């Protein structure tokens, strides 16, 4: 797509070249010292991919809140553009769900995996299928944006909306408004109160702690699974 994309103040865009993965490219640029606020993106024919470079000035354990923050930003962004009956929910580890089916994901990487260390950079990446692969019958639990009544939502406008809403919630987080962020995410979270497996543990997903770590209750105790366990480390 060649349509121009406009980003909010403090953010700049960089279109990935042919064959380039925005997530990989954003991490490479972050390693070289690019300023926070860079958005590397690829508006493909059937997939929207984008990666946002951030530099939270807190230890990684707290900075991981950028993953759910950008998830809330996505829901707000699509909610502003899609028909009102389209429902978006968020998996704890970054998965996105539209009308109950899996539809893309968010991933996160950082310059360190030490929860107590302040990362030099952090990258949150969005990957969203626009068109379904095949007839969809083989993967009924997976969907794509345009299969869910969102045909009028163009990739450039959704990318613009995502970055604006992410910036809004990042600013609120930076100002210490964690209560609002937690409340917004909690209302969108998928699977709370349900049994699941995570990090090799089985139990009931009770919710999250202050740093969005998963609280997983089994027959004897409640386990805390830090959000750092979902970091992409390759």
Residue 204: HSE in the Cβ half-sphere, 13 Å Cα cutoff: 8
Please state the rounded mean pLDDT for residues 8-32. Answer: 96
Q: Going by C-beta distance under 8 Å and a sequence separation of 6 or more, which residues neighbour residue 84?
A: none
pLDDT tens string 150-208: 999 999 999 999 999 999 999 999 999 999 999 999 999 999 999 999 999 999 999 99
Gap between the Cα atoms of 6 and 65, Å rounded: 25
Gap between the Cα atoms of 89 and 60, Å rounded: 25
Q: Quick check: 1 pLDDT over 50?
A: no
The answer to whether the CB of 34 falls within 8 A of the CB of 114 is: no
Please state the rounded mean pLDDT for residues 1-8. Answer: 78
- What backbone torsions phi and psi does residue 162 show, to the nearest 5 degrees? -60, -45
Q: Write down the pLDDT at residue 136.
A: 54
Q: Write down the pLDDT at residue 135.
A: 60
Please state the rounded mean pLDDT for residues 3-16. Answer: 92
Q: Write down the pLDDT at residue 179.
A: 95
Q: Quick check: 55 pLDDT over 60?
A: yes
Higher pLDDT, 219 or 134: 219
What residues form DSSP beta bridges with 214?
A: 208, 225
pLDDT tens string 118-147: 999 999 999 999 998 766 556 778 999 999
Cα angle 212, 160, 184; round to 5: 30
The token duo for 47 is 């997939």
Q: Quick check: 54 pLDDT over 80?
A: yes
Assign 222 to helix, strand or coil. Answer: strand
pLDDT tens string 92-110: 999 999 999 999 999 999 9
Q: Write down the pLDDT at residue 140.
A: 76
Assign 68 to helix, strand or coil. Answer: helix
Q: Quick check: 234 pLDDT over 90?
A: no
Q: What is the mean pLDDT of the chain?
A: 95
């Amino acid at each position: 797509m060649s349509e121009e994309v406009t980003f909010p103040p403090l953010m700049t865009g960089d279109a990935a070249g042919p064959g380039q993965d925005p997530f990989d490219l954003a991490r490479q640029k972050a390693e070289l010292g690019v300023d926070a606020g860079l958005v590397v993106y690829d508006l493909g024919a059937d997939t929207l991919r984008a990666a946002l470079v951030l530099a939270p000035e807190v230890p990684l354990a707290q900075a991981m809140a950028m993953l759910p923050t950008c998830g809330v930003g996505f829901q707000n962004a699509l909610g502003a553009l899609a028909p009102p009956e389209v429902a978006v929910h968020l998996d704890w580890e970054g998965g996105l769900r539209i009308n109950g089916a899996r539809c893309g994901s968010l991933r996160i990487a950082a310059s360190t995996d030490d929860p107590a260390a302040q990362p030099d950079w952090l990258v949150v990446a969005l990957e969203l299928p626009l068109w379904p692969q095949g007839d969809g019958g083989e993967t009924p639990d997976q969907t794509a944006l345009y299969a869910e009544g969102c045909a009028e939502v163009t990739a450039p406008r959704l990318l613009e909306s995502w970055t604006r809403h992410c910036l809004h919630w990042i600013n609120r987080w930076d100002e210490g408004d964690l209560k609002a962020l937690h409340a917004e995410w909690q209302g969108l979270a998928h699977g709370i109160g349900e049994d699941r497996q995570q990090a090799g543990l089985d139990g009931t997903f009770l919710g999250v702690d202050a740093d969005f770590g998963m609280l997983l209750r089994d027959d004897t105790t409640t386990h805390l699974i830090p959000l750092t366990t979902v970091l992409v480390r390759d």
